[in-house]
Amino acid sequence: MWDDFDEDEDTWDEDDESSFRKEHEKIYKHPLMKKAKDILALTRALVGSLDEARRELYGSIMLQDAMLISSKFAAAESTSDFVSKMEKAVFIKVHAKNLNGMTYQLAMEETHAEEHLELLRASIEEYRKLFIEWIKSLDPSEKTDDGWGVFTEN
């Protein structure tokens, strides 16, 4: 079974390591990723200060939204394909909007001082502005049709 594995093929070398590190730095030093990390930190703080019932009700949803913002961005930046990037962009937008909406739910339930919720809202708004600039920078000519017809010309 393991005899089929040829160690000479697909070996990881220093060039691969260097390429990986450059790509990793490009993604994790990007302003959108930095802002996504800020959003995650603020979300963790808010969720951590919720009472047990609300933490159970809202906490995992909020944390999932915050985490998916950064993971979808990393996935989008790791490909050059426009269609794939736009698919990830839609997820980012949806999760950011969901998280922002949760701050208003928490405000209605008077779980936090408005200033704490406003910090997260302001961070999401900063992210939105950076996101718009990032979207404008994407190259629609670098796309492949995945057979679903989304973000492609018919």
Return the DSSP state at 55. Answer: I
Phi/psi of residue 52, nearest 5 degrees:
-60, -45
- All domains of the chain, ordered by start, with CATH? 29-137 (1.20.1440.60)
Q: What is the pTM for the complete model shown?
A: 0.83
Query: Tokens for 5?
Result: 């594995």
Q: Pinpoint the alpha helices (H) of 9-153.
A: 14-28, 31-48, 52-54, 60-77, 82-108, 114-137
pLDDT in tens, 8-62: 556 757 766 777 677 778 888 999 999 999 999 999 999 999 999 999 999 999 9
In this structure, is the dihedral angle defined by the CA atoms of residues 109, 111, 113 and 119, taken in order, positive or negative? Answer: negative
| Residues written for the chain | 154
